[in-house]
Amino acid sequence: MNFAISAAVAILAVVLTIALRTRRRLREKGFPPGPDPLPLLGNVHQVNSTCPRLTFTEWKRVYGDIVYCSMLGREFVIVNSEKVAEDLMDKRSRNYSNRMDMYGLISDTVSLNHDDLWRAHRRVLQQTLRPEALVVYRHTQLRCAATLLQNLHDTPSSWWGHIRTFSAATIMGAMYDHDLPADPKDDKAFCTVVEGKDLKVHLGSLGMISLLTVFPMLKYVPTWFPVGRYMNAAKFVRAMDEMIETPYDILQKRTATGEARPCVISEALSKFQDDSKLDNVEQVIKHASGEETVGSNKLLLYQYSPTSLACKTGSTLLTFTLAMVLHPHVQKLAQDEIDKVIGVDRLPYFNDKPDLPYLEAVFRETLRWRPVAPLGIPHAATNEDVYEGYYIPKGNRFINFIRAMAQDKNKYPSPDTFDPSRFFDSDGQLTNDTCEFVFGFGRRVCPGRHFAQASVWTAMAHILATFSILRDNDASGEPIEPAPDWAEGVTW
């Protein structure tokens, strides 16, 4: 018994000594302010595991715009303001464009470090997804929007499924000229993408990365073991390969028979085929484009409802749907504007955008109100640095807390209120604030943002021009009050 007590006291003494030393080290080095860490655990025990943003929001209140913490041996800085994000990720982008180590399992654009291969990916993406190049794919977005309207008309109760299908169809159509059938679950390419993104999103979660850091052997957990399918490295690599190869192979076959219409992949192949600056052009294009498909289909990041698979385009439309249900007067104003400008004989087209300022304000407020990537995708520092007197260690990860930026009370008074009028100045003109921060920062800024914006805007405009989004009724005919439940997930 005496031995047990002595051992316990000794362990406690060691833990306390390490804790005090860690604390002193942080203070001496001048790290940004943050909660006191425990040895080994860091601050992981303080983070709300189902909803980390609640903890981060509280830390912002206590420590300010830049917060230092550590989780299971990994060091993080949480960036809570646009200014700090711009100072570091934009102005010092050379140093803040790395990503977190993914154990070499993932080598798509979003996971690559700031190296030559990533530069090659970005070149392809920037060329193929720049606004002028996207004009060619507008017909795909319009075709998918027309199908969305038809589906909503036929089975309105399946609206969420229709929105997800729209999101997947726009991206797969533009990337691979791949038409999705009415029920995409029957489509081989779609299924490989869903499987791949599902695994990737689980493996890429902060929790899973932290776990694998401490217990790397977990990568070998067999797939039959509970949650093993989300850890098993071999299965993951196979799923990634299939996700990239399957839609590509289908496109190649259709190209050979002359059926394929122009798409991002075929354009990229013809544009970069003879580019001496790109090694292994086909691989780069396949992987960069494979990421786009995933990028647009990522798991629901921060949305309401008990969630299943969704994507950022779909999640944004889900937020829009909720906002319209909760704010019928906003919906009516947007519909009145569309009726007045477009009339009732045709649907809104991209060229109508400048003539629909209220719709534009609704679009911006949808992006801002509940950003679908609330914690961004972590950046990492290549070298140590000093910012505003704070020491930033080499390899430190940065969580761009986009949700906190969207809640900045100085920029967005009453930030929880869905209020499109905040985007008009006192002369009734749209302000310059286009909420670009929801697409990230610096060299890593989302390359799909122009495509995503066009898809979301088209769907919103088409839906508002043809339908009213209303509350459902319960069995006794009373309208059901929506009770949004915001789930939190991966920011990968």
CA distances from 79 to 27, 121, 382 (A): 19, 26, 17
Q: What is the DSSP string of 196-263?
A: HHHHHHHHTSHHHHHHHHH-GGGGG--TTSTTGGGT-HHHHHHHHHHHHHHHHHHHHHHHHTT-PPP-
Q: Give min distance, CB of 141 to ligand HEM, in A.
A: 11
Q: Give min distance, CB of 210 to ligand HEM, in A.
A: 19
Q: Give min distance, CB of 319 to ligand HEM, in A.
A: 10
The C-alpha torsion from 375 through 376 and 380 to 381, rounded to 10°, is -90
Spatial distance between the Cα atoms of 126 and 491, rounded to a whole number of angstroms: 22
CA distances from 119 to 122, 270, 472, 491 (A): 5, 19, 48, 22
Spatial distance between the Cα atoms of 257 and 267, rounded to a whole number of angstroms: 17
Q: Give min distance, CB of 438 to ligand HEM, in A.
A: 5
Question: Residue 139 or residue 332: which is nearer to ligand HEM going by CB?
Answer: 139
Spatial distance between the Cα atoms of 327 and 317, rounded to a whole number of angstroms: 15
**8 Å CB contact between 402 and 301:** no
Neighbouring-strand partners of residue 68: 77
In total, the chain counts a number of residues equal to 492
Question: Residue 313 or residue 321: which is nearer to ligand HEM going by CB?
Answer: 313
Q: Give min distance, CB of 91 to ligand HEM, in A.
A: 14
Question: Residue 192 or residue 232: which is nearer to ligand HEM going by CB?
Answer: 192
Q: Give min distance, CB of 242 to ligand HEM, in A.
A: 19
Question: Residue 37 or residue 176: which is nearer to ligand HEM going by CB?
Answer: 176
Question: Residue 296 or residue 321: which is nearer to ligand HEM going by CB?
Answer: 296
Q: Give min distance, CB of 140 to ligand HEM, in A.
A: 12
Question: Residue 26 or residue 89: which is nearer to ligand HEM going by CB?
Answer: 89
Q: How big is the CA angle at 377 (ends 371 and 381), to the nearest 5 degrees?
A: 135
**8 Å CB contact between 159 and 174:** no
Question: Residue 37 or residue 420: which is nearer to ligand HEM going by CB?
Answer: 420
Residue 491 has phi, psi (to 5 degrees) of -115, 45
Question: Residue 180 or residue 231: which is nearer to ligand HEM going by CB?
Answer: 180
Tell me which DSSP letter residue 87 carries: I
**8 Å CB contact between 376 and 440:** yes
278 in helix, strand or coil?
coil
Q: Give min distance, CB of 85 to ligand HEM, in A.
A: 8
Binding residues for heme: 446
Catalogue the E-assigned strands of 133-193: none
486: amino acid identity, one letter: W
Cα–chain-centroid distance for residue 187?
Answer: 24
What does the binding site for ligand HEM look like in residue numbers (CB under 6 A)? 109-110, 122, 125, 129, 171, 291-292, 295-296, 312-313, 316, 372-373, 376-377, 379, 400, 438-441, 444-448, 451-452, 456
Question: Residue 314 or residue 420: which is nearer to ligand HEM going by CB?
Answer: 314
**8 Å CB contact between 244 and 283:** no
Question: How many other CB atoms are there within 10 angstroms of residue 479's CB atom?
Answer: 11
CA nearest to 243, candidates 300, 176, 290: 290
Q: Give min distance, CB of 113 to ligand HEM, in A.
A: 10
